[in-house]
Amino acid sequence: MPENVLFAFGLTLMAGLATGIGSILAFFTSRTNTRFLSLALGFSAGVMIYVSMIEIFVKAQDALTGSLGDGLGNWITVAGFFGGMLLIALIDKLIPKQGNPHEIKKVEDMTNKDPSQDAALLKMGAFTALAIGIHNFPEGIATFTSALQDPALGVAIAVAIAIHNIPEGIAVSVPVYFATGDKKKAFKLSFLSGLSEPIGAIVAFLFLMPYLNDVMFGVIFAAVAGIMVFISLDELLPAAKKYDEAHISIYGLIAGMAVMAVSLLLFI
């Protein structure tokens, strides 16, 4: 069990700190690679949707029906799934649109500003960092609990979350950098915004693991499936379509599903 805990925490840390990768990429480009961004976000959505509906939901259902019987187990699985959606929807509702990390902005849109807008840029970066911190907290719980139960599944979820954290890092670092001219400050804020993911893992370890029986596991996994489907449909796909060219986001979505399907067949 200690090895599994360290592995699960390491995956969660890796996924969260992918915001730092986005920050570094932003410093070396003057224009957004919209084709790559659209493909990557579509791919991440495909992985999340497929693994949620084919693997995570089913594992939750098996755990709950095995413990509570078919009738009550199925009802609680569905309730947990939509409860996860409701949780992430409420979090999104509380985040101002200006700071929503999935309101993807182009690098050039954030850099072509006159000096009088420095304060507004800095505020935008700070709001986005705070929003990412709030938003990534339940994702940290999802990654940690998934990896704890099934390491291969945890890897798949961590990779998908890491991919969609990269543009979030860009959204934090670019406005801060062009408002202050300080790359270190921009990187640090972007990097720190991803720490809520491992903090979510720590909370899961301290407060959920002592009570982690089949019923608790089933409810958490059902909620995780709902959270990931909601993020994909409400945020990742619309963001991918915003910069779409020739259905690239849909190709990314299908590729993400296919990669996840093959992974499940080979390794899980």
Binding positions for Zn(2+) are 139, 164, 168
Task: Give the whole-angstrom CA distance, residue 90 versus residue 30.
Answer: 35
Cβ pair 81, 222 in contact under 8 A: yes
Angle between helices 196-203 and 118-149 (to 10 degrees): 40
Rounded to whole angstroms, the Cα distance separating 26 from 24 reads 5
| Angle ∠(34,38,44) on CA atoms, nearest 5 | 145
Binding-site positions for Fe(2+): 136, 139, 165, 168, 197
Binding site per annotation, positions:
136, 139, 164-165, 168, 197
Q: What angle do CA 123, 90, 164 make, to 5 degrees?
A: 60
Q: Distance between CA 227 and CA 82 in Å, rounded?
A: 8
User: In the chain, helix, strand, coil percent, each to 5?
Assistant: 85, 0, 15
Tokens found for residue 47: 């992985």
Helix (H, G, I), strand (E, B) or coil at 52: helix
On whether the CB atoms of residues 31 and 105 are closer than 8 A, the answer is no
What are the CB-based long-range contacts (under 8 Å, 24+) for 72-77? 73/218, 76/215, 76/218, 76/219, 76/222, 77/218, 77/222
